Amino acid sequence: MKMNTSKVFATIMFLALAITSCKQQKKDADNETVSEVETMEEKPNSITLEKLQGSPAYENASLVLENPDSGKIAQGGEVDFAFAVNNYELGTQTEGPNVELLANSGKGQHIHFILNNQPYSAHYEPTFKKEIPDGVHHLVAFLSRSYHESVKNENSVVVRKLEVGPNAEDTLGLDMEAPTLIYSRPKGEYSGADTKNVLLDFFVLNTTLSEDGDKVRATINGEEFIIAEWAPYIMTGLPMGEVTIQLELLDREGNLIPGPFNKVVRTVTLKP
């Protein structure tokens, strides 16, 4: 049988082009895979959370609320508060390397005063006035180092239920004996060197944290961390701009423990 030379040549050229095309597609696919791997490897480091160490313990420091001397206050408005501070000096700089590591108050050591788990006010003297509205309130006050790390011992904190006004109404459903999470840091704005290491600190009341018990889940810009030890922590790798921190107090099964303060969200701002 006589073959058509032109048809044979056309068939050969078609097969050659097809093979070349397949090889190029494979090469492109390989290059794309390599590109994806390189992109993953070049991705900036994610946020890290590490336990802060090296702070003086102040194991014998104590804070006592002397005024008001009871939890009942006749009416809302400006209230005088007076604390007794023992084995701890307000207004001085905390000693140790963490003064340079973290955002530090030039005014020194102080009291964090927190009402209903709202952002704290810092007080460098043991007596001050605070505006307290009518109602039932959950007060937590504790000693703070100059770089805002709380002093964590059984005597360094005051927890008090305040009933303010003649018809104080409990709108929060407070159980002062229930496991409770109190947010402290971070707070406000950070700039320059203070953005490199940012303190994450909180108080836990009426419970302890452990690997097989209650825990705190910290969600920082969407990244989750499970905290099984009550301690201060350093956040690194935070981006400039707004940073959102959510803290939740969880039971051993990972369920949110009921309570008005056991899930809290705060936003801070980092600037170059």
Report the domain count for the chain.
1
Parallel, antiparallel or unpaired: strands 121-123 and 72-73: unpaired
Q: Is the residue at 19 inside a domain? A: no
| CA-wise closest residue to 90 among 51, 42, 122, 135 | 122
Which residues is 59 bridged to in the sheet? none
Q: Is the residue at 40 inside a domain? A: no
Q: Is the residue at 235 inside a domain? A: yes
CB 229 within 8 Å of CB 214: no
Question: Rounded to an integer, what distance in angstroms lies between the CA atom of residue 183 and that of residue 180?
Answer: 10
pTM of structure? 0.83
Parallel, antiparallel or unpaired: strands 189-191 and 223-227: unpaired
**What size, in residues, is the chain?**
272
- Locus of tokens 């701890």: 88
The secondary element (H helix, E strand) that includes residue 26 is: helix 5-41
| CA-wise closest residue to 205 among 132, 135, 122, 139 | 139
**Which residues touch 211 (CB under 8 Å, ≥6 apart)?**
228
| CA-wise closest residue to 229 among 251, 210, 205 | 210
The rounded average pLDDT for each run of 10 residues, N- to C-terminus, in the chain (272 residues) is 46 47 48 37 72 98 97 96 98 97 98 98 98 97 98 97 95 96 98 98 98 98 98 98 98 98 98 97
Q: Is the residue at 2 inside a domain? A: no
Which residues is 67 bridged to in the sheet? 82
| CA-wise closest residue to 264 among 170, 176, 180 | 180
Q: What is the CATH number of the domain that holds 145?
A: 2.60.40.10
What is the residue range of 255's domain?
50-271
Q: Is the residue at 3 inside a domain? A: no
Q: Is the residue at 222 inside a domain? A: yes
Return the pLDDT at 27.
47
Token pair of 79 as six digits: 């209230």
Q: Is the residue at 68 inside a domain? A: yes
Q: Is the residue at 22 inside a domain? A: no
DSSP label at 149?
A: P
| CA-wise closest residue to 99 among 203, 231, 220, 193 | 193
Return the pLDDT at 44.
53
